[in-house]
Chain A
Amino acid sequence: MDDDDAVFKALADPTRRRLLDRLFEHDGSRLADLEGIAAMTRFGVMKHLRVLEDAGLVVSRRSGREKLHFLNPVPIRRIHDRWIDKYREAPAAYLSDLARSFEEEP
């Protein structure tokens, strides 16, 4: 389910954010290509990938004997639309109200 909690939890870890950055640069990476980004075991990287997959941020596909990992940017887009846009508009509106109130001062 595209649950905001799962996405925020998945993003709240520097190794997982690095994995996403790596997939942004090299989409469709194999596990072996991703192991180098952190000083951790193959099992550790697999665990992080699993959290990213459960949050819908990574989609894996089999290609022959290999498993390829793809970045799915849609959950981040959903969070952007839901949270970031809202607060980006608010300060601008606040500042323009403030300017108006100064202009109206006698």
Chain B
Amino acid sequence: MTDRTSPQIYQVFIKASPERVWQALTDPDVSEQYFHGARITNTPETHTVIGTDGSDWGSGAVLEFDPPRRLVHEWSSRYDAELAKEPISRITWEIEDRGAGVCLLTATHDRLEGSPRTAQSVGGPGWSYVVSALKTLLETGEPLPRAL
């Protein structure tokens, strides 16, 4: 099995304003359309994730909250009993305005050194799907089919 515990970086250009991308990261009505149905709320203090079954899928602390540029929050995989035993890792979202109505969105998942199973689970298709679905939603108004 490939070791995926080094930082993982996911990057995509999105034709949307930084404010719309920021809203997509912080508003549960938007997140449920691209994040496997999860309702995600980020406030200056708290990252809350409510799953499709109504349970907590991995809430934690917000470490940096700088709208509409930078959001850093804790990650724990409470949607899976085995993954939930691993230490908390960290997500950094960066929104860079590239002009002409285009943003560069970068998601970095790090502090995974003690969480190899989480790293394997979110690596590759996991985050790629979420970031790609977010782009499609903001550019077309349509969610990607819920497939993986």
A contact residues vs B (CB 8 Å cutoff): 1-2, 24-28, 56, 59, 61, 70-78, 81
> Contact partner of A72 among B11, B125, B136, CB < 8 A?
B11
Docked pose: A56 CA to B98 CA in angstroms? 14
For A73, list chain B residues within 8 Å (CB).
10, 124-125, 128
> Does B7 sit within 8 A of A, measured CB to CB?
yes
Query: What distance in Å separates the Cβ of B105 from its nearest Cβ neighbour in chain A?
Result: 9
Judge whether B8 and A70 touch: CB under 8 Å. yes
* Inter-chain contact B128/A1, CB cutoff 8 Å: no
Q: Is the beta-carbon distance between A81 and B7 smaller than 8 angstroms?
A: no
Set of chain A residues within 8 Å of B106, measured between Cβ atoms: 59
Known: A70-B7, A74-B132, A81-B132. 10 other contacts (CB 8 A): A2-B12, A28-B6, A56-B12, A59-B9, A61-B9, A70-B8, A73-B124, A74-B10, A74-B131, A78-B12
B12 and A74 form a contact (CB under 8 A): yes
Task: Give every chain B residue within 8 A of A76 (Cβ-Cβ).
Answer: 128
Contact A28 B7 (CB under 8 A): yes
22 pairs across A/B with beta carbons < 8 Å?
A2-B12, A2-B13, A24-B2, A25-B2, A27-B6, A28-B6, A56-B11, A56-B13, A59-B9, A59-B11, A59-B106, A61-B9, A70-B7, A71-B9, A73-B10, A75-B12, A77-B129, A78-B12, A78-B132, A78-B135, A81-B132, A81-B144
